[in-house]
Amino acid sequence: MISYYRKNNFYSHIPAFTKNLLIINLIVWLACLLFKQLEFYLALFNYDSGYFHAYQLITYMFTHADFDHIFFNMLALFMFGGVLENFWGKKRFLTYYMVTGIGAGLVQLLVCHLQGIMYPVPTIGASGAIFGLLLAFGMLFPDTPLFLMFIPVPIKAKYMVIGYGLIEFFFGVANRTGDNVAHFAHLGGMLFGIILILCWGKKQYYR
């Protein structure tokens, strides 16, 4: 009975790289709670601030501000990441995740530079890569019905992706006072996701 449980518990059904990404994000979040200064070194700072380092393009996507931030990002990673990892295979999935996350960071750096922001603007979170996953799911499984919280009507994945993209673009352009969400980074993750999928051929399987 014990042996059967170990082989068939909920945790064991999460694909390997998705599982590892969930664990790494959780460990980094807990570490930042224990060592407050750690977030400063892991966050992505705009290039013109003088605090930018190239490694931040990777570390920022494993760093989160609070419980809500990491919970919703990891929930989306669990929901979409496992499906995409099973579809593409481990290596291609990890490549996609990292490229969309780094791409989101590059877009954020570009936007801050174009806006002439000189003071330090830290960016953290896996949202850029998560939006890349959402984009991939919408392109590869466009007619899959999805549910949003508080909306009991299913929405096809392709329409949800379009909707999220338009919302992010609107809020990014609006640039409202007090809005600390990196909307263009989210769009950057989607943009790099489109480029990768078109290069790979969205109807092909990769292992």
Q: Name the residue ranges covered by the structural domains of the chain.
A: 16-200
User: Which stretches does DSSP call E strand in the chain?
Assistant: 44-45, 122-123, 145-148, 151-156
How far is 44 from 60, CA to CA, in rounded Å? 5
How far is 136 from 197, CA to CA, in rounded Å? 7
Q: How does the average pLDDT of the chain come out, rounded?
A: 88
Fold for the domain defined by 16-200: Rhomboid-like fold (1.20.1540)
Cα–chain center distance at 83: 15
Nearby residues of 8 by Cβ (< 8 Å), 6 or more positions away: none
pLDDT confidence of residue 30: 96
In the chain, pLDDT over 90 holds for what percent of residues?
Answer: 65
Residue 44 falls in which region: left (phi positive, over 0), alpha (psi -120 to 50) or beta: beta
pLDDT confidence of residue 7: 47
pLDDT band at 202 (very low <50, low <70, confident <90, very high): low
pLDDT confidence of residue 32: 95
Least confidently predicted of 67-71, 82-86, 143-147, 149-153: 149-153
Q: Is the pLDDT of residue 45 over 90?
A: yes
Token digits of residue 126:
């896996």
pLDDT band at 201 (very low <50, low <70, confident <90, very high): confident
Q: Is the pLDDT of residue 93 over 60?
A: yes
127-141 tens-digit pLDDT: 999 999 999 999 999
pLDDT confidence of residue 6: 45
pLDDT band at 167 (very low <50, low <70, confident <90, very high): confident
